[in-house]
Amino acid sequence: MAFSTVLYKLKGLYKFGKPAPRLRGKVFVNKMGAIQVGKNLSIVGHPWAVQITSTKGANLTFGDNVYVNAGVGIAANKEILIGDNVKIGPRTSIFDSNYHRLDSSDKGELRKSITIGNNVWIGADCTILPGVTIGDNSVIAAKSTVNKNIPNNVLAGGSPAKVIRELKIEDGWVRE
């Protein structure tokens, strides 16, 4: 399917920044809620398709200069905010809902907002779980499961993810 055909099919569904997003390969979008996109969104759906979902009443926001790699799944049931200059590695899953309760005594909220700060790099095969915030300039190591907040300027990794070390980030530096 040609890029112009994809944009035609998406016309009116999104608030696009300028220039238009770059979509390559298979990108499936299920939009029942809001999806807002900043400038220079780039999504690569090859060799694995990317699936982006925003359910009824949910809000999914992509900042400027966001790169989403192949095989990524993002599902907003409440709210997912992805900051500027964020890079999301292949086969990463970002879900703001548990979708079901563990047992009859589980009375907690199933949906919890996720915030990914500016200049964040999420490595391959990561899982970002409901209710977490990943701080600005942080890096999440490959194969990590983030189930608790990650502060600014750190390398975190593991399952569950823990801070490995602090990062030295100069003001204004943007990860390429």
CA neighbor of 117 nearest in space, from 160, 59, 61, 70: 61
Output the pLDDT for position 141. Answer: 98
Tell me the domains of the chain and their CATH numbers: 3-100+107-164 (2.160.10.10)
User: C-alpha distances in angstroms, 142 versus 47, 114, 159?
Assistant: 19, 19, 10
pLDDT for position 3: 47
Nearest CA to 31 among 15, 48, 49?
Answer: 15
Choice among 11, 18, 56, 100 that is catalytic: 100
What per-residue confidence (pLDDT) applies to 6?
A: 46
What residues does 127 pair with on adjacent strands? 93, 145
Please tell me the predicted confidence (pLDDT) of residue 101. 81
Known catalytic membership, residue 46: no
Report the C-alpha gap between 161 and 168 in whole angstroms: 20
Q: Is the dihedral of CA 30, 4, 62, 127 positive or negative?
A: positive
pLDDT tens for the chain, 176 residues: list them.
444 444 444 444 444 445 678 999 999 999 999 999 999 999 999 999 999 999 999 999 999 999 999 999 999 999 999 999 999 999 999 999 988 887 888 788 889 999 999 999 999 999 999 999 999 999 999 999 999 999 999 999 999 999 999 999 999 999 88
pTM over 0.85: yes
Residues whose CB is less than 8 angstroms from the CB of residue 154 and which lie 6 or more positions away in sequence, other chains included: 135, 138, 139, 163, 164, 165, 166, 167
What is the reported pLDDT for 19? 66
pLDDT in the model for residue 15: 46
Give the pLDDT of residue 4: 45
Q: What is the pLDDT of residue 105?
A: 83
